[in-house]
Amino acid sequence: MKTIGILLCITLACCHANPFGSRIAGGDEAEPGQFPFQVGLSITKENDVWSWCGGSIIAKRWILTAAHCLNRAISIEVWLGTNKVNTYPIPKGTQKIVVSDQRSFIKHSNFDSSNLAHDIGLIALPVEVMFNGNIEPVNLPIVSKNYANYTNYKAIAAGWGRIADDKPGTINDLRFVNLAILELETCAMYYKKGLVEEKHICVETSNGRSTCTGDSGGPLVLSGTRVQIGLVSFGASTGCQKNVPVVLTRITSYMDWIREKTGLQFATDELDLSKFY
């Protein structure tokens, strides 16, 4: 999750942006195979800058992540099928795919790094992912004329990011956190005018439970399903455990873009979402 300047409506305190993403703070360690669609991205950028992001498998040759994770990237190691990353020797069953062709890093054409508008991207893999019990694609939302706004739904985010504001650095073990989706109007009150829009989803953070630095690009899925409805974009630069909502890119706003860039087709059957309130 990238941190960005905020405007708290109560304190009127303005903060500055940080170029790195967030991590799971106050969450729980994931079980093996619990999130088979989750990938870790070890990213080498220009000027020998290194960063870490998350992503999701949407097809054998495609990874979905945040556009800001791909900004100035020159090479990416994609870790699949494991809860333990940056571990050597590589755990049995883990796949690690190196992507070094910058044409494989596809950012939304309207992505704006200054305010993280249209913060969505794709990685085209040079080889097909070998699916197994620990490596499986996530489900994207059904194509519909009337998408839910998901307010008050329960969802789960996972990642290898920071586990607390006072514990810097990414971790090797995947963690997850249960979060409630917040109405956009309330979320927007915490940020500068115009930063939060309809193409976003916000999640409430309380009791120190949140995504944090290093979780950028990772999927937000509806609880009890593998349906990805968001990907981690930005949060408050004051910290991950300050009860400020986290902002994610809303997947339903970009289904046409994903289909255009990948050529993938998506389900159109109706899904009963009422049980996720």
pLDDT at residue 11, as a whole number: 26
Token pair, residue 32, equals 């093996």
Residue 237 lies in a domain: no
Residue 30 lies in a domain: no
What's the CA gap between 191 and 185, in Å, rounded?
11
Residue 227 lies in a domain: no
Per-residue model confidence as pLDDT tens for the chain (277 residues):
786 654 433 222 222 233 333 336 767 889 999 999 999 999 999 888 899 999 999 999 999 999 999 999 999 999 999 998 877 888 788 899 999 999 999 999 999 999 999 999 999 999 999 999 899 999 999 888 778 889 999 999 999 987 766 655 556 889 999 999 999 999 999 999 999 999 999 999 888 787 888 899 999 999 999 999 999 999 887 778 778 999 999 999 999 999 999 999 887 755 555 544 4
pLDDT at residue 8, as a whole number: 39
Token pair, residue 129, equals 């992912």
Number of structural domains in the chain? 1
Please answer whether residues 104 and 123 qualify as being in contact, where contact means their C-beta atoms are separated by less than 8 angstroms.
yes
Residue 44 lies in a domain: yes
Please answer whether residues 120 and 108 qualify as being in contact, where contact means their C-beta atoms are separated by less than 8 angstroms.
yes
In CATH, what number is assigned to the domain containing residue 103? 2.40.10.10
pLDDT at residue 168, as a whole number: 54
pLDDT at residue 195, as a whole number: 94
Provide DSSP, 130-154.
Answer: --BTTB-PPBPPPP-SS----TT-E
Residue 102 lies in a domain: yes
pLDDT at residue 171, as a whole number: 63
Residue 109 lies in a domain: yes
pLDDT at residue 21, as a whole number: 36
Q: Which of 101, 113, 141, 136 is nearest to 250 (CA)?
A: 141
The residues carrying an active-site annotation are: 68, 119, 216
In the DSSP assignment, the letter for residue 82 is: -
- Tokens 């999640």, located at residue: 203
**For residue 95, what are the β-bridge partners?**
80
**Phi, psi (degrees; rounded to nearest 5) at 247:** -110, 135
Residue 201 lies in a domain: no
Q: What is the DSSP pairing of strand 2-4 with strand 62-65? A: unpaired
Token pair, residue 205, equals 């953070």
pTM over 0.85: yes
pLDDT at residue 48, as a whole number: 82
Please answer whether residues 220 and 140 qualify as being in contact, where contact means their C-beta atoms are separated by less than 8 angstroms.
no
pLDDT at residue 165, as a whole number: 62
pLDDT at residue 27, as a whole number: 77
Boundaries of domain holding 126: 37-137+256-262
What's the CA gap between 191 and 236, in Å, rounded?
8
Please answer whether residues 218 and 225 qualify as being in contact, where contact means their C-beta atoms are separated by less than 8 angstroms.
no
Residue 184 lies in a domain: no
